[in-house]
Amino acid sequence: MLRVSIRATPETDVEAETENLRQAAIGSGLEAALIDRIIDEAHSVTQDFVARGRELKALGSQLKAERTIKGDGYDVRVSFDTARRTSVLDRVLSAFRR
């Protein structure tokens, strides 16, 4: 069973994420044709999220999206968020600065 989560941001290298997914899919023992379909769809979704996210970020807007590619033997979740994730420490320090 292939279970992978891709967490994309505007800075994500789509090609590197696609290659990481390919290596995980090969390691899971899925058929080559199925791997190619999964890779194509995940690459398309990730590339679309990143491109749209970059455009919206440049305009000052935010995008949060998620898509799951699921079938027999695989579950690939692609999520995208333009907002910078802040740690607990960042939030505490921010509160003291106010």
Q: What is the mean pLDDT of the chain?
A: 91
Q: Does the structure show a pLDDT above 90 at 93?
A: no
Model confidence over 14-61: pLDDT tens digits? Answer: 999 999 999 999 999 999 999 999 999 999 999 999 999 999 888 888
Phi then psi for 15, rounded to 5 degrees? -65, -40
| Length of the chain counted residue by residue | 98
Place of tokens 């960042």: 90
Among 45, 33, 35, residue whose Cα is nearest residue 8: 45
Separation of alpha carbons 83 and 88, rounded Å: 15
Helices (H), ranges, the chain:
14-28, 32-58, 88-97
pTM higher than 0.75: yes
**Residue 69 to residues 47, 55, 81, 85, 95, Cα–Cα distance (Å):** 15, 24, 18, 24, 39
Phi then psi for 44, rounded to 5 degrees? -60, -45
